[in-house]
Amino acid sequence: MTAPNPTSLRPALGPLGAFFMVQMVVTMAGLALPVFAVRLAADLGVAAGWVGLYVSCVFAVAMFSGVLGGGAVLRLGAIRVAQICLVVAGAALVLMTAGAVHWVAVAAMMIGFAYGPPTPASSHILARVTPPRYLPIVFSLKQTGVPAGGALAGALVPPMVILWGWRGAALAVAAACLALAAILQPLRARFDADRDRRHPVGRDLAGPLKLVLRNPPMRRLALLAGSFSAVQMAFVAYLVTFLVEVVRLDLVAAGAVLAAAQAAGIGGRILWGAVSGTLLSARGLLVLLGLLMAGASAMLAGFGPGTPVWMLYAVAVLFGGSAIGWNGVMLAELARIAPPGLAGVATGGSIFVTFAGVVLSPALFSAIVGLGLGYGAGFWMLGALALVGATFGVRHRVP
């Protein structure tokens, strides 16, 4: 599908709105369990701190589904791929209500399958129909769907748990997934017109990863994204449990702090998208965000039962604005430097590296807590990862 007017934003508005909604709802589905982890863990007889293993399982599968996403989009179309992901995520939440550890593990793998493809699917369309000067803000606006979904999870899931129990909350989020899949159907004829039904989905699975790793600027961006995503997901996955178990907030109050962090991530993505390439280069901005993440991690590590509520919100907003706000800038820069026509493929390759970091970080955080070192040590680990990511930004050089 070729943009009728590459100097205008109009062709990008439809895909932008559609994939904002997709990423918001899929993210909400993925983060529902970390929000009600305390209640679910009590029912299953496991420690809530092991929620990190759920997150790692989700993104271990997403590493591979993201790589497959590029080929699936070429064969089925971006909208159809998004619909499949929504249906799978909804089915996973329904399965989760069976209330057994092994079914939760299967549900985690299903949600991981749904997590990977939407990002390369959106890049496939937006990189072609968006004028280059608008790439940072358009990609950042699209990526606000992720923290928006997190904000909805933090704000809506705890009250639903209180009203209907964690199973009722899971079913409500599943219904939202299925409803959006149906709503997207009228868009398919327009936005999936470029699909090639003969394209083999599994052809050259290593191709996207090779493309990224053999190109030094793209490789450094992917490694930066792996470090930053590790910080982001461990923060989101553990914040509510940390605030309940260590700071002694109730579930609703802890969810509200998470919602504030996610809201800051939304604002950050929009702000950084506007700043990137104007007031600061993408490289300089990403380095700055890494330093902010490290500082917020250090502050969070020292929090306990006596921490003032205003300070909890202040640091959560700082953490959210940086650790949740960087993604659009990175994806737009990747699309800008990718070979012509290969933005979606490059995005799929970078997702593999990005999600590899996400898989390792929550599992490591979980191990730190499980070994008795405490949540503070886990947050110090996140600060170190943020600094590692910033070093890749310092070395990033592109034309």
* pLDDT for 252 beyond 50: yes
3-state secondary structure 166-207: HHHHHHHHHHHHHHHHHHCHHHHHHHCCCCCCCCCCCCCCCH
Cα(49)–Cα(216) distance, integer angstroms: 38
Give the per-residue pLDDT at 168: 95
Give which of 48, 398, 105 is closest to 224, Cα–Cα: 398
Question: Per-residue pLDDT tens for 145-200?
Answer: 887 888 788 889 989 999 999 999 999 999 999 999 999 999 888 888 877 777 66
Kindly list the domain boundaries of the chain, sorted by start residue: 13-195+206-395
- Give the residue, 346 or 183, on which the prediction is more confident: 183
Give which of 37, 50, 101, 57 is closest to 368, Cα–Cα: 50
Q: Please give the span between the terminal C-alpha atoms of the chain, in angstroms, as a whole number.
A: 28
Kindly state the DSSP code that residue 49 receives in the 8-state scheme: G
Cα(195)–Cα(183) distance, integer angstroms: 20
Question: Per-residue pLDDT tens for 268-281?
Answer: 989 998 888 778 88
* pLDDT for 142 beyond 80: yes
**Number of neighbouring beta carbons within 10 Å of residue 46:** 15
What mean pLDDT, rounded, does the chain reach?
86
Q: Which CATH superfamily is domain 13-195+206-395 in?
A: MFS general substrate transporter like domains (1.20.1250.20)
Which amino acid is residue 258, in one-letter code?
L
Give which of 279, 298, 289 is closest to 328, Cα–Cα: 289
Q: Give the contacts of 250 (CB within 8 A, at least 6 positions apart).
A: 244
Structure tokens belonging to residue 59? 């993104």
Give the per-residue pLDDT at 49: 64
* pLDDT for 39 beyond 90: no
Cα(304)–Cα(244) distance, integer angstroms: 10
With cut-offs at 50, 70 and 90, classify the pLDDT of residue 303: very high
Give the per-residue pLDDT at 395: 61
Q: Is 161 exposed, middle or buried (0-12, 13-18, 19+ CB in 10 A)?
A: buried
Mean pLDDT across the stretch 244-269?
Answer: 88
- For the entire predicted model, the pTM comes to 0.76
The C-alpha torsion from 385 through 305 and 30 to 91, rounded to 10°, is 150
Contact 28, 152 (CB under 8 A): yes
